[in-house]
Amino acid sequence: MKKRLNIFALLILMALSIHTGYTLFYSWGEISTAYKEGYEKAGKLPRQPNLSDLSRHDICIRKKLGSTAIIDSIYNIKTNSYIPTDIQKIQISIPDNQSVGYQVSIAVMVLLLVPAVIAVIVLFLRLIGAIQSALLFTKTNVLRLRWIGGCLLLIAVIYTIGNYMELAFVRSVVEISGYEITSEGMIEFPALINALIAFLAAEVFAIGLRLKEEQEFTI
């Protein structure tokens, strides 16, 4: 049983680490770009924009009702012909001219995100260690699960706010003929669901603790 528990714990930590690394990679890109822009704007001579001045954004789009949308195509090697495609999600590169408030907000959210992720990992490891020591239904484990749920909820909120800010920025500078930029994927449902699962597990542990205490009192 402990072997399976260790395997599941390792898989969860790997998934969390990969997801966190992916997020920090792109968040760090925005922070470093903001720093570089501030440093270069302090110079006297203006620069011509290049690829390093562009920021990448993944956006979801859909056709506007009653309008003519752009129809694209891709080359199919097997049939040696082009086939039409329906554009739903694209990645665009646009001038990285976000406001100072936007850049500061992103930096603050990253500073909040890192401690929350570290707290989840530490609490999770301590929870696994307690379970392996046969300390299952305890007040400490209930509190750990509730803290894990709270941290995961904070992560979901941070992601959602960041996605909303990115969506608002892209909408303010980009308009695609025949399409509208949608808010699909703005809410971080995976992190939200994980938070709810952690809260549910905490309540299960709390019920188990209550039954254990009642049984001990009866005996």
The pTM is what? 0.67
Domain boundaries, the chain: 2-53+97-218
Higher pLDDT, residue 140 or 135: 140
Per mean pLDDT, which of 25-29, 148-152, 178-182 is the most reliable?
148-152
Q: What sections of the chain are H helices per DSSP?
A: 2-41, 100-132, 139-173, 189-218
Q: What is the pLDDT of residue 207?
A: 86
Helix (H, G, I), strand (E, B) or coil at 154: helix
How many Cα atoms sit within 13 Å of 178 on the Cβ side?
9
Q: What is the pLDDT of residue 146?
A: 92
List pLDDT tens digits, range 75-118: 889 999 988 877 778 878 777 676 777 778 878 888 888 899 89
State the Cα–Cα distance between residues 103 and 96, nearest whole angstrom. Answer: 10
The one-character DSSP state at 103 is H
Q: Which of 27-41, 126-140, 190-204 has the lowest mean pLDDT?
A: 27-41
List pLDDT tens digits, range 32-81: 554 555 555 545 444 444 555 677 777 888 887 776 666 678 888 999 99
Higher pLDDT, residue 164 or 177: 164
Q: What is the pLDDT of residue 143?
A: 93
Q: Which of 5-9, 35-39, 97-101, 188-192 has the lowest mean pLDDT?
A: 35-39
Higher pLDDT, residue 22 or 111: 111
In our burial notation (b when 16+ CB lie closer than 10 A, e otherwise), range 18-43 reads eebeebeeebeebeebbeebeeeeee
List pLDDT tens digits, range 194-215: 888 888 888 888 888 888 887 8
